[in-house]
A and B are shown apart, each in its own frame.
Chain A
Amino acid sequence: MSEHTKRLTQLAVLTALSLIIFAVEMQIPNPFPIPGIKLGLANIITVYAVYHYKAHEVAAVVAARLILGSVFSGNMSALIYSASGAFLCLAGMLLLKRVIDEDHLWIASVFGAVLHNTGQMAAALLILRTPSLLIYYPFLLVSGCLAGAFTGACAQLVTHRLKGWKR
């Protein structure tokens, strides 16, 4: 099997996995009424991929996840918020990857989550032009720190378990 095909297949598996996680998480009722607050379990895959694949490969996985995810959830209008959040998060994590090694992955994940929420908030402010939306931002920061630490810890566990899967 050529190296290229192998990589493509692995990326496809990652995309499928994150979509499954996304779909399962959608079924869990959210106790917080504020849009933007959720665990974001699908980002476990993103965090993992950031540390094991090239930048454009991770971007492809995330883009496919976002588009297919919004099709599955039937919420196309949310795509612009999640996309702006996801790509700000991705850009930040790709930079942080140079500073933070794999054993401290959760730190990168927390920054990624906070950047994700910041991107969402910026998009919402640009689209809705309602400055009072900013009162949600502190809540998003708290949820970003907690959710980011959780998904980061999960990703660290995955990294540990998957050693040897990808050569």
Chain B
Amino acid sequence: MKYKVLVIIIAAILAAGIIGSIAVINSTDKSTVRVLSDGKEIYRADLRTAQDTVFDVEYQGHVNTVEVRDHQIRVQSADCPDQTCVHMSWLKSSATPVVCLPHRLVIEYADSSDDVDAVTG
């Protein structure tokens, strides 16, 4: 009987750990985004506080229009032939950044856990 109680406590600790881990994974990634053009960062914002905005990113005469709206970010339109970046729509996870290969444009979540790792070394 008492072992049942102890095993339940263990299960509770494990569940708390798993839930906490999932919460941490989801929260640390999904706040700060950055836009890279040809490897250079040209825009960085915290999506939770970012103002809605639309701006053009130029690369060798080609233009991608990036839109920030309702705490999300996407490529609104592009003058590239394949339109993959437009079809990817809103940036969803750090595993799938929005990329426009012909114009060397990347929209991704900035790794916000950098500063924590720097402390622990």
A-B contact pairs, 29 of them (CB 8 A): A35-B120, A99-B2, A104-B6, A107-B7, A107-B10, A111-B10, A114-B13, A130-B119, A132-B116, A133-B116, A133-B120, A135-B24, A135-B113, A137-B20, A138-B16, A138-B17, A138-B19, A138-B20, A138-B21, A138-B23, A139-B21, A141-B13, A141-B16, A141-B20, A142-B14, A142-B17, A142-B18, A142-B21, A145-B14
- Residues of chain A within 8 A (CB-CB) of B28 are 135
CB neighbors of B among A76-118 (8 A): 99-100, 104, 107, 110-111, 114
- Residues of chain A within 8 A (CB-CB) of B116 are 130, 132-133, 135-136
Residue of A nearest to B9 (CB): A111
Number of A residues whose C-beta is below 8 Å from B? 24
Assembled-state Cα–Cα distance A137/B17 (Å): 8
A128 within 8 A of B: yes
Assembled-state Cα–Cα distance A11/B21 (Å): 39
- Residues of chain B within 8 A (CB-CB) of A145 are 10, 13-14, 17
CB neighbors of B among A126-167 (8 A): 128, 130, 132-133, 135-142, 144-145
Encode B19-48 as 1/0 by CB contact (under 8 A) with A: 111011000100000000000000000000
- Residues of chain B within 8 A (CB-CB) of A110 are 10
- Residues of chain B within 8 A (CB-CB) of A132 are 115-116, 119
- Residues of chain B within 8 A (CB-CB) of A137 are 20
